[in-house]
Amino acid sequence: MMKYMCRHASGFMVVTLALASSTACEHSLFDAHVGLTCPEPCLGDAVRDFADTPGGANQRWNYYVDTGTESGAQLLPLTWGTWEGTQAWLAGAAPPAIIDCRGNAGRSVCSGASGTVLLVPATGQYPALSFRAPFDATFSIQGEYQSASGAPGGVPQTFLISRNARHDVVHKESFVTSGDTRAFSTTMSALAGDEILLTLLPPDDGRLAPIGFRLFVSSVGGDQAFPGECLFALTFDGESPFPDHCGGAQVAVLEDQTKGPGVSVSDSAPASRFGTARRLGEGNYMVSNGGALDYADDFTVQFWARLDEPQPSFDAAAFVDWNSRARGGISSFFGEEAGIDVCVMWDEGGDAEVADCIVNAARPLDGGWHFYRIVRSTEDEIVRLCVDGRVRGSVGVPGDVSITGDQPPHLGRNVDYNPAYFGGSFDDVRVIKRALPCPTAL
């Protein structure tokens, strides 16, 4: 549950609600902060820091258009220009647009959204406001939003808070345009250089519906301090061994002697903003020297992968941490020509072990980068597989069982059977102790 504060004439009222929902405020907690210094430990205030140069006033903000690609990774910088007599970040001479409605309070486009950063979507193109994390931390992302006066009422819309790309969502909020001001709040574990994205998706019917946002980003301490909910975070800048930024372990590229020496090299990432990825040739795999990850409750396993097509063999392992002896862990395997299997294992007591699988779920075959997310929800008693934000399969798992195994993460090879068949590249592998949204696509 999250708590929001609405300011009333008689003082503050605390409103408690579920994470993914929102509430309307008669007067806003943020009203007093518009145009003022963002209070500590706040690191970014989208309104105060707005500028006509990339980076914003504090060199942490960027203004993008999400071009609507399937993977959600491609963001292009907007350019500074003029639309309807108002200076704005634009895609050419028209929306999508990001506008400073503090400095343009008298303009008609900002009517009803004074003191906000106004996001204006367009069909197939989404404005994306980005805050770049200055260091590894758990970040609090909180704010409020309201429709501009010119926006039609009753229009269903959605905005996303995500990490680096559209489908790496931590908070998805759908709403209907109205005159209310609504608050939202979430948290995100992020590494230095990660981008915290606020993306506004357009209405399905193509109507122009600008939404004004106030957005604060701050670091979180206490029991939520980094690494917090982050169990494992692997990026591939530099050379092997690679650091697990959350667990403190090292992840090395190894060779499977049964398949002969593979060739592991740096590779281009899903987007240039990501740094570099890592290619594994058949015979290469990666193993963490840390311990098993905690799968007792909710979790999300996610990674980017670009696959050789066809794969070298059937059951080419992606992310795996189960084995034939342990009664816990998960596995994900790519088929030789199509499909992906995701299996989970747990112990029901005695000598019994249970393994249930999502079998032969559809996967892309274009040889491009795609985002894979495996989510366990103990409340729903289900494990889901999403690819590029679309559900590709699910399997029931009792909410009261632990899936924790005894093996660390392996990439590109099963733990104790099957050689290192995998051929392709990985990037940005993360495991989060939280059931993140799945699906996320329109």
The yes-or-no verdict on residue 147 having pLDDT over 50 is yes
The answer, yes or no, to whether residue 105 has pLDDT greater than 80, is no
* pLDDT value at residue 259: 66
Region 341-364: mean pLDDT is 84
Name the E strands within 58-192.
61-66, 75-77, 79-83, 86-91, 94-100, 117-120, 126-132, 137-147, 156-163, 169-176, 181-190
pLDDT at residue 190 tops 60: yes
Which band of pLDDT confidence, cut at 50, 70 and 90, is reported for residue 30?
very low
Q: Could you tell me what percent of the chain has a pLDDT over 70?
A: 88
Mean pLDDT over 168-195 rounds to 94
Q: What was the pLDDT predicted at 161?
A: 98
Is the pLDDT reported for residue 10 higher than 60? no
pLDDT of residue 8 exceeding 50 = no
Nearest to 159 by CA among 112, 82, 215, 103: 215
Q: Please report which confidence band the pLDDT of residue 213 belongs to, taking 50, 70 and 90 as the band edges.
A: very high
- Enter the tokens of residue 397: 């798992």
pTM of the predicted model over 0.75: yes
The answer for residues whose C-beta is within 8 angstroms of residue 248's C-beta and 6 or more apart is 290
Q: How far is the C-alpha of 96 from the C-alpha of 89, rounded, in Å?
A: 8
Q: Does the pLDDT of residue 36 top 90, yes or no?
A: no
Structure tokens that stand for 54 in this block: 């990339």
What pLDDT, on a 0 to 100 scale, did the predictor assign at position 321? 95
Residue 39's pLDDT is: 53
What does the pLDDT read at residue 261?
Answer: 66
Count the Cβ atoms, other than its own, within 10 Å of residue 351: 7
Answer for the pair 282, 425: CB distance below 8 angstroms, yes or no.
Answer: no
Q: Which residue has the tokens 């993360």?
A: 430
Q: Prior bond to 408 cis, omega within 30?
A: no
Q: Which of 112-116, 152-156, 368-372, 413-417 has the highest mean pLDDT?
A: 368-372
Average pLDDT, the chain: 87
Query: What pLDDT is stored for residue 263 in this prediction?
Result: 81
Q: Is the pLDDT of residue 7 over 60?
A: no
8 Å CB contact between 70 and 122? no
Hey, which of 107-111, 202-206, 294-298 has the most confident mean pLDDT?
294-298
- 24, pLDDT greater than 60: no
The percentage of the chain sitting over the pLDDT mark of 90, rounded to a whole number, equals: 68
pLDDT for residue 442 is more than 50:
yes
The predicted-structure confidence for 381-402, as pLDDT tens digits, reads as follows: 999 999 999 999 999 999 999 9
Q: How confident is the model at residue 351 (pLDDT cuts 50, 70, 90)?
A: low
Q: Residue 312: which pLDDT band, with cuts at 50, 70 and 90?
A: confident
What domains can be seen in the chain, in order of their start residue? 2-224 (2.60.120), 230-432 (2.60.120.200)
pLDDT at residue 96, as a whole number: 94
The pLDDT score that the predictor gives to residue 323 is 80
